[in-house]
Structure 1
Amino acid sequence: MRTGMIALAAGLLLLRFLPALPDTRWLSGLALVGLLSLACRRYRVAMLLLGLSWACVSAQSALDDRLAPELDDRTLWLEGQVVGLPAVSDEVVRFELAEAESRRVRLPQRMRLAWYGGPALRAGERWRLAVHLKRPHGLVNPQSFDYEAWLQAQRIGATGTVKSGERLAPAEGIGAWRDALRQRLLALPAFGRQGGLTALVLGDDSGLSRADWQLLQDSGTIHLMVISGGHVSLMAGLVYGLIVQLARHGLWPRRLPWLSWACALGFAAALGYSLLAGFEVPIRRACIMLAVVLIWRLRFRHLGVWTALLLAFDLVLLIEPLASLQAGFWLSFGAVAILALTFAGRLGAWSAWRTLGRAQWVMTIGLLPGLLALGLPISISGALANLIAVPWVSFVVLPPALLGTLLLPVPWLGEGLFQLAGGLLELLFLILAPMARWWPAWLPTAVPLWAWLLGALGAFLLLLPSGVPLRVFGLALLLPMLFPPSGAPPEGRAEVWQFDVGQGLSVLIRTRSHALLYDAGPRYGDFDLGERVVLPSLAGLGVRRLDRLLLSHADSDHAGGALAIQRGLAPAQVISGEPDRLPASLQARPCVDGARWQWDGVRFSTWRWSGATTGNQASCVLKVEANGERMLLTGDIDIQAERALIDAGRDLRAEWLLAPHHGSRSSSSMAFLQAVQPRAVLFSRGQHNAFGHPHPTVVARYRALAIALHDNVEEGALRIELGAFGPARPLRAQRRFWRDPLAPEAAPGPVGQTP
């Protein structure tokens, strides 16, 4: 039985690693072979094939529910119901719309929308909206959050921006009740921790500030502020433990079997808490796991804990095969498996503090390979912080918060308990703050497969009981995973990455022992792509030090992420074409026309137009040459600045050209292109951007000169090994079934290939 369950799990998990879904004929063949294997009692083969077939069918249904390509970038009037709890940040209302309908077209069943300056929305309301619709699309960078995978896992078929709308029906249902409760909780006095308590009670984290999130990430305690399997299990455990104590002291009715009632009431309490928290996908997953564990505890303990864990694993994936696209799925099951390996079958009872300390130690070691594989931040202070925070939140903060919420109708009592919980949570944040400040989270470097496998084996050995032979070698096996090779280019060559930052720019140039970042990505209000994309990508590539941050000019789409880069990497030098317009804390120096330097056999030079009258014209232009192959990075210079650069008498020839000003109509003149003679051009822009970049006439001009085009919207981040005279390598060429395939004109090919 267990081998069949393992085969089923393997089939369901294969979906996660497919580059593309099989077509109908292949899928029908797989299912048929699986059924024939089942009839022939080849149960392992049958479970593997049937699991894979079901996962592919489920994933295909989600893909089929995406916005039709012909509706992409169109504005439509539609009707739908607000689901979940809308979030407001920087005067932007973000919410999900379900059961969307339009008169003439078929729409996805679930959409994620943003309304800039929109009115207050409530869950359960029905609206008629004019929405600028987009197909699911995300930025693709090394070691960064995969937004498209997240949308697919949530079965969200479209995103969009609301232009206008009208409310058709008031809020109704349990969503409306949860929203009203949220508004009341956020209005209560709680020492400024209303947002944290609302996250604990209702699973709504929109009330947490960016500073709160940073502190929780650095201290490794994010899981405590987001309702997860731990909270649901805690609720069941409290009720279960209460009944056990009553039975132990003879206070439980003898005619009622205490174990059956403990399991049933424990699950009922967990289910009620889950409904209060919105019963989202992670909560549903936790309820399935909890139900299996309680049934195992009640009737099937003789089968062993691993059978129960396998059954829960299979059930979760059978109900939602796309769960494997979410990091939380892997971490939650990984954590349970680690605890089972550590505590199952141990002889003798441990004290509560020894048990908690041991749990934190094994979780730190055991989850390390998973966190590295998922590219998630690793908290250095996490073990110590959780040793304090887990019991504090579970047994000190959460009970009065929940009890206060339930007793809100009782004057003074409910509010008093809620305020007490807020004070206790504020005390915890005060304790965690110095830990987070002294030992902030570490962004891991991408690890080669061989080093990761050695590290995973080392972590497994360290988790085994003391006295097991070879256990001591586990720490040595961890070292290649914790300190992987740098992957720096050889002498005389440069590794160039154009990051996918939407309507902005950020390019990394790395030599054997130096690194330069040309522009830092955009920042829009509180949304900083320097912090969210560029820094994690640099960390994933192993860049721990920046010798120079070169900001072409001070516009937000080029320099918006500079402060985040400064906080994260403290570049040795910052230079810019517009140093006076940048924050004083950057201490930027002016770009010097004619400056030249050499790193590891790679030559660099800069140019800035002294007659510039606009910020774009003042862009600092950078030329890089490695082994005879050249690249020209141009910032946002326009046609006048291009003419001045030509008149300066420089040798502008370069194999690679960064399209000036994102390919705007006011740049990329024919004279400039003839002077540079590029074989390939790089466009960095946002999908469906409001500026129309790149302009069709500019694209036509490049094509007329047989210049290969590379567009980050189509290809994601681009890697170029300057000095090898090879092709650009787009990350979107790494196929994933949830991403739209590369357009034919964006398919990777040798430098100079015409589209």
Structure 2
Amino acid sequence: MLALALGLLTLRFLPGLPAGWMLAVAAILGLSLLFSRLYPVGLFLLGLAWACCSAQWALDDRLDEELDGRTLWLEGRVVGLPEVSAGVVRFQLEEAHSRRAELPGRLRLAWYGGPEVRGGERWRLAVNLKRPHGLVNPQSFDYEAWLLARRIGATGTIKAGERLAPASGLGSWRDGLRQRLLAAPAFGREGGLAALVLGDGSGLSTADWRLLQHTGTVHLMVISGQHIALLAGFLYGLVALLAKLGAWPRRWPWLPVACALALAGALAYGMLAGFEVPVRRACVMVALVLLWRLRFRHLGAWWPLLLALLVVLLLEPLASLQPGFWLSFSAVAVLILVFGGRLGVWNWWRGLTRAQWTMAIGLLPMMLILGLPVSSSGPLANLLAVPWVGFVTVPLALLGTLLLPVPGVGEGLLWLAGGSLHVLFELLGRIADWLPAWLPSRLPLWAWLLALAGALLLLLPAGIALRLPGVALLLPALFLPSTAPQEGHAEVWLLDVGQGLSVLVRTREHALLYDAGPRFGDFDSGERIVLPSLRALNLPRLDILLLSHADNDHAGGAAAILAGMPVARVVSGEPQRLAHRVQSEPCDSGQSWQWNGVDFRTWQWERAVSGNQASCVLLVEAGGERLLLTGDIDARAEQALLQTDFPLAARWLLAPHHGSRSSSSQRFIEAVAPEHVLIARGRHNNFGHPHPQVLQRYQAAGVQVHDSSATGALRVLLGAQGQAQGLRSQARFWREK
């Protein structure tokens, strides 16, 4: 079982998938070894071959490259619960077909300002289709892995559509139930009730999710193993209690009935939640635990966990691409390690407190390797929230949902559930203000292995002498020294923020961030991309946040960065336009300074008549190698810059205004004479950046073009006369090259 599990898990770490003939050889060799002493090797090969074949089928189901960026009319059925956020309707479409092309089996679509869409409806839609593509940074959400794990073969934006058939089936019933939950008076926490009952988190605001993240309680507001196990345990315990009290009929053996009732309750809750991947995983684990309790307790507690892992991976090998998979199985493993085989019985309060602090220690290595925020207040918050949600909010919410047909009763119970949730969020808010979460730095393998060893030592039973050194082994991971460039060099990161800009310039002791990325609706790239990337690079603070101008694609993420990291100074080309968001100093044209042997110099056109023209230009020079950051200046501002004594010649040039047609004039390119040009832009952006004529100018001048949408985040070591390194070049089998 261990060998088979290792073969299935190896998929997650492959840089690329083996060729078909190699998988066939591995499968045949694995089958032949099953009947020899090397049968564990055979099981490993079979697991690896099955996982790779399943992943290849998912990759083959992606949108054809010829259709990338094209708009097609298609028909399909809405599955799951559509999400509505900031005026955008997002949903998944299956059974999609078009007369003009073959389409993937599952699409994820967005309709800006679209009408109400219900699960189970059939629609005819005009969709601008795109191949799965995500932003790649030192630390950010891996959207491409997320899409592949759900076997979504394309995304798209809807241009127009018409409903062909009304809602029907399970999706329609769940959507109708969601509407009733959202309409129930619940102290403004109707979205939280929908999350707990149906697994639909779209009703929770960004602030709610941020609060849950800071307190380490996200798992409580998504239907996970804890909720499924809670309901199954309640039903099992009810039958066991009746049997213990002598109130259970003797002609019915109580244990099989208790296990069957618990499994039925878990499956019913899973159906209510739509049987998403985490819910299916939880139902499998509950079923195997009940089977273990019924017939196989003599095999020990690790057996159902290992078997559940195998069943989940055999049914869906791509589950290992999801962080939730690793966290859920790690959490159960920690609980077995802590509570399994202990002498004596702990009271419920001691067991609950021990579970929280051991869970915080046990999951710390997994949180660090996955790059997830670590909640300092997690043990305290969960000590309060777990029994609160588990024994008050969820029972009231489920019972209220069940009794909705009874006038007044169901609504009253949902009102109480919403009230309990409202009070909980108020308390969590106070805890989060006191102890916010922190984003871990990117760890080298040796530091992570030490942290893992330290956590395991601390989880050993009391009385073992080696427990205390575990604290020392955790320290390198928590206080990793900075890996800054040497004197006279500057590390430059062009972050992949889509249609926007954010560039980090770091010397040995100082750091400057040039622009903060965009903010669109609930998506703030400053919070979601820039800030996590800065923390992953082990950057504790910024000396200067320089916002070239006030446009949203350059300054939208500034407020989030200022809230999440100490910043000594904020400088902007348009301080007045930014005043309602952040307070900043004006860009002082001609100002220069030096950090650790690296020279900086700014320029701004005094006669600018637009925000783009007012962009604050920054020149960075290290070891005789220059980088010119130009913001969104246009051809007129470029000509004004040419007439000054500002040193323009640079090896690296950030293409003005994302490579738009109105910039990168021929005279400007000749004056700068760059060897490399960096283009920061979003794939399939609505502005057509970069313009083909601009690309032709750069190519005619022999300039090497680096496009962030194709390379991901780019790293340049200024002063070393080296080449740019794009993060997308780091091989991942699910990542489009």
The question of 1:531 aligning with 2:527 is answered yes
| Aligned residue runs from structure 1 range 372-411, under 5 A | 372-411=368-407
Among 688, 691, 695, which residue is 1:692 paired with?
688
Shift of 1:13: 0.7
Give the aligned partner of residue 627 of structure 2: 631
How many angstroms apart in 2 are the aligned matches of 1:696 and 1:29?
47
Shift of 1:566: 1.2
| Aligned residue runs from structure 1 range 195-234, under 5 A | 195-234=191-230
Secondary structure of 2:7's aligned partner: helix
Give the aligned partner of residue 334 of structure 1: 330
The superposition leaves residues 456-496 of structure 1 with CA deviations (integer Å, 9 ceiling, x where unpaired) of 00000000001123111000000001111211111111111
| Aligned residue runs from structure 1 range 629-708, under 5 A | 629-708=625-704
Give the aligned partner of residue 6 of structure 1: 2
The question of 1:492 aligning with 2:500 is answered no
The question of 1:279 aligning with 2:270 is answered no
How many angstroms apart in 2 are the aligned matches of 1:281 and 1:273?
14
How many angstroms apart in 1 are the aligned matches of 2:559 and 2:382?
30
The superposition leaves residues 626-662 of structure 1 with CA deviations (integer Å, 9 ceiling, x where unpaired) of 1111100000111111111111022211111000110
Give the aligned partner of residue 255 of structure 2: 259
Give the aligned partner of residue 300 of structure 1: 296
Among 557, 560, 565, which residue is 2:553 paired with?
557
Give the aligned partner of residue 745 of structure 1: none
Matched-pair contact (CA < 8 Å) for 1:488–1:511: yes
Identity of aligned residues (%): 68
Among 428, 431, 438, which residue is 1:442 paired with?
438
How many angstroms apart in 2 are the aligned matches of 1:291 and 1:458?
33
How many angstroms apart in 1 are the aligned matches of 2:408 and 2:304?
45
Among 24, 31, 38, which residue is 1:28 paired with?
24
Among 120, 124, 130, which residue is 1:128 paired with?
124
What runs of 5+ residues in structure 1 fail to find an aligned partner? Answer: 742-755
Q: Which residue identity does 1:26 align to in structure 2?
A: M
Shift of 1:585: 5.0
The question of 1:720 aligning with 2:720 is answered no
Give the aligned partner of residue 306 of structure 2: 310
How many angstroms apart in 2 are the aligned matches of 1:81 and 1:488?
52
How many angstroms apart in 2 are the aligned matches of 1:651 and 1:387?
60
The question of 1:581 aligning with 2:577 is answered yes
The question of 1:249 aligning with 2:245 is answered yes
Give the aligned partner of residue 158 of structure 1: 154
How many angstroms apart in 2 are the aligned matches of 1:458 and 1:120?
52
Q: Which residue identity does 1:599 align to in structure 2?
A: W
Shift of 1:722: 0.9
Give the aligned partner of residue 237 of structure 1: 233
How many angstroms apart in 2 are the aligned matches of 1:431 and 1:504?
37
Matched-pair contact (CA < 8 Å) for 1:597–1:603: yes
Q: Which residue identity does 1:110 align to in structure 2?
A: R
Shift of 1:40: 3.1
How many angstroms apart in 1 are the aligned matches of 2:612 and 2:499?
15
Among 347, 352, 356, which residue is 2:348 paired with?
352
Give the aligned partner of residue 509 of structure 2: 513
Give the aligned partner of residue 87 of structure 2: 91
How many angstroms apart in 1 are the aligned matches of 2:648 and 2:639?
12
Matched-pair contact (CA < 8 Å) for 1:448–1:484: no
How many angstroms apart in 2 are the aligned matches of 1:395 and 1:740?
45
Shift of 1:705: 1.3
The superposition leaves residues 391-442 of structure 1 with CA deviations (integer Å, 9 ceiling, x where unpaired) of 0100011111111110011111111111111111111112111101111111
The question of 1:68 aligning with 2:47 is answered no
* TM-score normalised according to structure 1 size: 0.97
Secondary structure of 1:573's aligned partner: strand
The superposition leaves residues 216-271 of structure 1 with CA deviations (integer Å, 9 ceiling, x where unpaired) of 11111111011001100001000011111111110111111111111111111111
Among 366, 370, 373, which residue is 1:370 paired with?
366
The question of 1:38 aligning with 2:34 is answered yes
Report the count of equivalent residues: 737
Give the aligned partner of residue 744 of structure 1: none
The question of 1:142 aligning with 2:129 is answered no
How many angstroms apart in 1 are the aligned matches of 2:418 and 2:100?
50
Bigger Cα displacement from structure 2, 356-365 vs 540-549: 540-549
Q: Which residue identity does 1:684 align to in structure 2?
A: A
How many angstroms apart in 2 are the aligned matches of 1:312 and 1:547?
50
Bigger Cα displacement from structure 2, 709-718 vs 564-573: 564-573
How many angstroms apart in 2 are the aligned matches of 1:413 and 1:92?
34
Among 171, 180, 183, which residue is 1:184 paired with?
180
Shift of 1:41: 4.5
How many angstroms apart in 1 are the aligned matches of 2:722 and 2:672?
19
Among 726, 730, 733, which residue is 1:730 paired with?
726
How many angstroms apart in 1 are the aligned matches of 2:594 and 2:577?
28
Q: RMSD across aligned C-alpha pairs, in angstroms?
A: 0.9
The question of 1:548 aligning with 2:544 is answered yes
The superposition leaves residues 587-609 of structure 1 with CA deviations (integer Å, 9 ceiling, x where unpaired) of 21110110001111111000001
Shift of 1:334: 0.1
What runs of 5+ residues in structure 2 fail to find an aligned partner? Answer: none
Give the aligned partner of residue 324 of structure 1: 320
Matched-pair contact (CA < 8 Å) for 1:597–1:605: yes
Bigger Cα displacement from structure 2, 74-83 vs 24-33: 24-33
